[in-house]
Every structure is written in structure tokens, then in C-alpha cells.
A and B are shown apart, each in its own frame.
Chain A
Amino acid sequence: MSDETKTEDKPAAAEKEWQPRIIAFVCNWCTYAGADLAGTSRMVYEPHVRIIKLPCSGRIDVSFIIKAFEQGADGVMVSGCHPGDCHYTAGNYHARRRFGGFRDLLEFCGFDMRRVVFSWVSAAEGKKWADLVNEAVAKIRELGPFKEYQKLLAEDIWRKEETNSDRETG
């Protein structure tokens, strides 16, 4: 979070400086290592992604994705090892089946599927990871905040009259 864009304490300024919030659920063995490689290779890429490391893409429950949106995420990335490379042999194959079905469900319910990005990123693909993040951030910046879902959060009274800056400092 240290590289978070600093925002002023004024609502107007916060509104102007809205930045996408993306949560990435990644597997420990490939994508996380790939993201690590991007870092150690000093690649510069968009800072608006928060990475949550899990043992395997097979561990990524669909509830994680919904929970991220519930917490105000504008986009979600899900990433694991390429087929055949799973540290646990088949976790990513199971994940692939699951996410195929689940993305159809989200699409059916009217989610903009440009906000949910699935990918395979190996430990050697630091560049691919950086590109994917840049691409996702650019896309979500274009789409703007996930207003539809955030409208559902508006029922949380404590969130009312609140600005981005409030949240970032919370």
C-alpha cells in the first residue's frame, strides 16, 4: 500500500483522482513467483493491484471473488500455473472448470466480464504479469468504478458520505 497514490482529504480531489482498485488472487508457485520476478527485474507497472497469495489456483473459492467486490474492488484478477504445471498436479485443471462455469454465471447476472480477468502466468513470465496488470488497470480505468456493485454497498450506512480518501486512510 505504500505506493498508493496519495489523495487529498477533499472529496472533490478524491473524486478527480479515483484510481482502480484491483484484487488479484494468485497461486503461490507460478503467478506469485512471476509477479516477484517482475519486481526483482525492476519492471515498472501499474500499482493499483493488491495481490493475495494462495497455495494454488484450485484454492481460489468463488466466494473470494464476490468478497472482493463486496469490499469495494473495481476488478478482480485470478491467476495460476499453466495447464500441466500445477505444483499439486491438477489444482489448476479443477480451477479452470470452476471458473469457466462461474464466469458464465457472473455474466448471466449482468457483471461486466472485463472486470474479472483469468490468466495463467508462470514463474518465468514476469513480463506477462506486468502486461496483464497494465492492461487490466487501463481497462478498468476506462470502465470507471464498479458502480453497480458499489450501489449494493450503499446500504451500509457507515459508508455514506464517504470519499475515497476516507477509505484509503481507514
Chain B
Amino acid sequence: MTGDSKEKQNAEQVEKTRQPILKTLRVENLNDLVRKGLDLGYRVFAPVKDDRLVTFEQISSPEEAFLDGITSRTSPKSVLFPRTERIFSYKIRKDEIVVEDNADISQPTMIFGCRPCDAASFPIMDRLFQWDYQDRFWIERRKGMVIIAVSCLDCDDACFCTSVGLAPDSTEGSDILLTLVSRDQYLAEVMTEKGEDFAEKTGLFDEAGADLDKETATKAVREKLGKKFDLDKIKPWLDENYEHEFWAEVTRMCIGCGICTYVCPTCHCFDLVDEAHYDGGAKIKNWDACQFAAFTVHASGHNPRPDQISRHRQRIMHKYKYYPDNLGAVLCTGCGRCVRHCPMEVNLIRILKGISDMEKAGVGEE
């Protein structure tokens, strides 16, 4: 298959987005939106705050949702791709073995209050889970899922969505994107049929006047974000520099904890395990991570990625070279979680900036 046709195929698989339909939602109706979702039978997942920890959890009332943070600690990918998930299970009984599929995968689900960087992660991962193998779990869940994201009006030093081609108000992946445009009003960009259908059912959205404009609302945060590196310079350098002293220099402090991959909205590696007991068992899909030494170790004991330096290089190569090569998108949304939560401050922004600076100098543009 040529690169072109592969890309075309991917484009077809990813749900088509249309010109947005602009609506408005009154701030006071935000909670009703969640309530409506619950009433309509959606499982609603939203950021939930417990002390300092914000994670995506299933909620049963709108008051539980916490929308004030920059990003949650863990990403909403766990809604479609749980940390631990049963593929099938079996019971050993006197005269038979009973096999049961995991059936609860297509319940209607709503992700509420995620950030545009999180919403953008879903179409990126669609490319993988609908590529050669059609991942039933991902696809089924995705079908029944409506994503209502909220634009960012603030950012921190770890955020870099603007550097990977997104923005604090990008609509990528959202069914409905809400942007607070005035004290009491959200601009709602309804991006998909699913979103339109949902908006209609709730009856909470009004037609938007032509004067509403999200650009003004998000101008300040855009400026604060700026551009932290030049994305166009990354891949050309990676293409040429699999072996380079730079890798050791910038990743030697990595301890292989894998937090970056666990909090990442686009990291998707998993491992299949059997949990077998005398009376039954299950085939289980668990998250795995390229940062773990055991990830690549062979049965012989040989490990083709023998140290943390090669493992960390793999993570960056995968996100900024292999995934673009194979599936036509950068596997990163600039949410900044890996930067924010790295205990050793490895700092992906620093590494990518280092690469883009070297590449710039290398081709003599300066």
C-alpha cells in the first residue's frame, strides 16, 4: 500500500467533521447539560478533584465535575482504553467451560469537560485502532461516545499545544467545543452529527449571533503559549539521527518510571495477560510502556533496548517519527502532562527545542 492510499484510507476511517454549527450555552445551564446527559442514559466521565489529584472518573451528578484545572493528572484515554480491561473470561465448571465475552463496551458515554488537547487525542488514536487490526473495544466505545470539551483560558509552562499544530481552542476531536466568551455565555461549536444530535436532545443550546467570536476570548492564552519549538524541524532531524550523542545527554536522568506514558493522552501500548486460576480465568488487556525494561526483553534474555537512553529515544521517535511515517499524524497533542509530572524533569519541550535548534543550525538557516 502506498503512503498516499494509506492516508486516504485513514481519512475515511476518521469520522468526518463538517463546518461547525455555532450555538450558545448559558453558563448557568452547564450543570443541566450534564444532568441531561445522565438522564439520557449516558455514562458521564469528567475531571474529578480529590485533594491535589484530578482524574477522569464516572460521575453521577454535575457537581462532581471539576473544570478549573489546566489539565487533569491522568487523561481521558482511560475511558476508551482502560488501564485494565477484560477481553474475555471463562469459568471451569463440573462438566463444561463457560466462556464469556466482555459485553459492556458499547454503552453511550459522554466525556465532559476535557481540554481540547485531550479531545484531539482521540482522532489521532483512531488511526491506530482502526488500522490493520480493527480494535472492537475502541471502535464500539468510540461510536457511542460524545465528547464535550472546554477551551482553555489559561495555561502553564508545560503546555505546548500550539507547538504541535493545535490550539487552546481547537475543535479537533470534539463533538461540541465550549468556549467561555463572556461572563455568562459559552460559544458552542457543534462539530459532528453526534454533537448536533446531542445538542438537540438537551434543548439547552441557543442559536448564536454572528457577533460571537472565540478568538478574542482565547487570545491571551494563545499569546502566553507562544511557540516553544518548530515542529517542522523535528522529523527531518529524527530521520537522520537515530544514533546521536544528544540522546544520552538529554535522557540520562530518565529513571524509566513510565509516568509520562501513563499520563499521556496518546500513549497506547498494551500487553495481553492471562490470569488463570483453578476455577476460571480471564484474558486481560493492560497498559504497558516503552519506558519499562521488560517491555522489549526477549525470551533469550537479550534486550534490544538495553538502557533508559534507548527507551526514551523510542518514545520520542514513536511520537514524532514512526507514527507520522506510518499513520500520518504526530502522536502528541501538547497537553504537557509528561513535562509536568516527570519526577526527574526530563522535559520533552526542552528535548524538542534542542532538536529544532540543532536542525535549524544544521541546515544553515541562521
Contact = CB atoms under 8 A, between A and B. Distances in A.
Interface in B253-293: 275, 277-282
Interface size class of A (residues with CB under 8 A): 10 to 19
Given A156-B275, A157-B86, A157-B282, A162 B91 contact: yes
B8 interface: no
A159 B100 CA distance: 12
Interface in A130-170: 156-159, 162, 166-167, 169-170
Most chain A Cβ neighbours within 10 Å, of B89, B93, B279: B279
Contacts of A162: 91, 279
B278 A158 contact: no
Interface size class of B (residues with CB under 8 A): 10 to 19
B205 interface: no
A170 B97 CA distance: 10
Contacts of A159: 279-280
Contact of B94 (A71, A156, A157, A169): A169
Contacts, number: 35
Contacts of A169: 93-94
Nearest to B91: A158
Contacts of B281: 158
B91 A156 contact: no
A158 B93 contact: no
Contacts of B92: 170
B138 interface: no
A169 B92 CA distance: 9
Nearest to A165: B94
A157 B94 CA distance: 18
A156 B282 contact: yes
A167 B279 contact: yes
B102 to A, nearest CB: 8
Interface string B191-228: 00000000000000000000000000000000000000
Which 3 A-B pairs have CB atoms at the shortest separation, nearest pair first? A158-B280, A170-B279, A158-B89
5 contacts: A156-B275, A156-B280, A158-B100, A158-B282, A167-B279
